[in-house]
Structures are given as C-alpha cells and as structure tokens.
Amino acid sequence: MRALTARAPAPENLHKAIDSLEKLYLVLFFHENPETLDNASGIALRLGYSEDRLRQPLAELAEAGVLVKHGEGDQAVYVYTSDPAVREFVQREYCEKYQSKQARRELESAVLARREANAR
C-alpha cells in the first residue's frame, strides 16, 4: 500500500487547514489516538458522523500534511502524521489550551469564524 503524503505544513499554516468543526474533531481525535489507522467509515463510526460528511475533511487534512493517506477510494486509510512539529503544534495550540468545555466552545467559534472569513 503506497502512502500519499503532502509536504509537511508549516505549523503556522495549520490554523488555515483546520477550518471546520469536522476537521477540528478529526485532528483532536488523531492527536489523542495517534496509532489509529482506519478508513473513513471506521473513523466516522468512532466520531459519530456519517462517512460522507468526513470523506472531504479527511482528504483535505491528508493534503495539508496533518494526516497520511494510504490507498485510494473506499479502501483508503488514514493515520496521524509522524511529523513532530505538527504534533507539537496541535498539542500546544489545540489540546493544552482547550481542555474545558467553555474553552472548547471558544475554539469551535474561532474555527467557524475562520471558515466564514475564508469564504469571503
């Protein structure tokens, strides 16, 4: 199985890559479960989303270098990047800062605001 990888993103560009709640939850899920290797169907089941809702965000996170995609189509599986700079950035900018429910809501609002700003 051949891995499809993008070049590693500059950590400061990761905020731009995480522009939806689905992507945010995917990044946090993979960061908290870094050994997970699963397809869109399995990940959707774990996170409580439909598979169709996660296909595009998974592909975009792989394109951005946050995830690594192995394979194509329904057989594609995803795993968290092994890049220490990305992992450290996610830990610092998302995990450590947003442990409480209130802080997580603020993060969700910030992600939604970025998506609206990017749509303009």
Indicate the pTM of the whole model: 0.79
Domains of the chain, each with CATH number or no CATH: 13-119 (1.10.10.10)
pLDDT at 57: 97
- Poorest-pLDDT segment among 6-10, 40-44, 83-87, 108-112: 6-10
The tens digit of pLDDT for each residue in 9-49 reads 666 678 888 888 899 899 999 999 999 999 999 999 999 99
Contacts of 115 (CB under 8 A, 6+ apart): 19, 20
pLDDT at 32: 94
Alpha-carbon span 95 to 90, nearest angstrom: 6
Are the CB atoms for 54 and 47 separated by under 8 Å? Answer: yes
Residue 70 tokens, joined: 């192995």
- Poorest-pLDDT segment among 32-36, 54-58, 59-63, 96-100: 96-100
